[in-house]
Amino acid sequence: MTNMGLMEYFLGLEVKQGEKGIFVSQERYVEEILNKFKMTNCNSVSTPMEPGTKLSKFDGGDRVDASKYRSLVGSLRYLTSTRPDLLLSVGIVSWYMEEPSYGHWKVLKRILRYIRGTISLGLYYTKSDNY
């Protein structure tokens, strides 16, 4: 075994270690998601879902590519490991992976717009001697 120093990047997680704690984020991963789905220059929004959004399995809208929808939902699921603010909205859109419609896709794109504006968020674990 060799000591390679402090961990900085592992499985899409960026780790910044300091004297007061550890900050874990996924900024590079978010950039990859935004590039993959061509949302790098989108306008950001302040919430991942519009308040009062009601989705239905049978909304009558046009169908979208289910594999692309599943790919985005899976990417966002992995992002929730450092972004608990996304858990509810990503959980809701994942209910519709079987036959997604254009309305479901619009909600996913709004989540992408939200993470575009909050790219630097993550988890901060503070150092403490008091357990």
The answer to whether residue 78 sits within a structural domain is yes
The answer to whether residue 20 sits within a structural domain is no
The answer to whether residue 131 sits within a structural domain is no
Q: What is the pLDDT of residues 47-81, one digit of tens each?
A: 998 888 787 787 767 888 889 999 999 999 999 99
Model pLDDT, residue 1: 67
pLDDT at 108 over 90: yes
The answer to whether residue 62 sits within a structural domain is yes
Considering its fold, how many domains does the chain have in total? Answer: 1
Find all residues with CB under 8 Å of 31, minimum gap 6, and list them.
40, 119
Question: Among 37, 34, 12, which residue's Cα sits nearest to residue 25?
Answer: 12
Tokens 């594999």 sit on residue: 67
Domain that holds residue 50: 29-119
The answer to whether residue 3 sits within a structural domain is no
The answer to whether residue 125 sits within a structural domain is no
The answer to whether residue 130 sits within a structural domain is no
Query: Structure pTM?
Result: 0.85
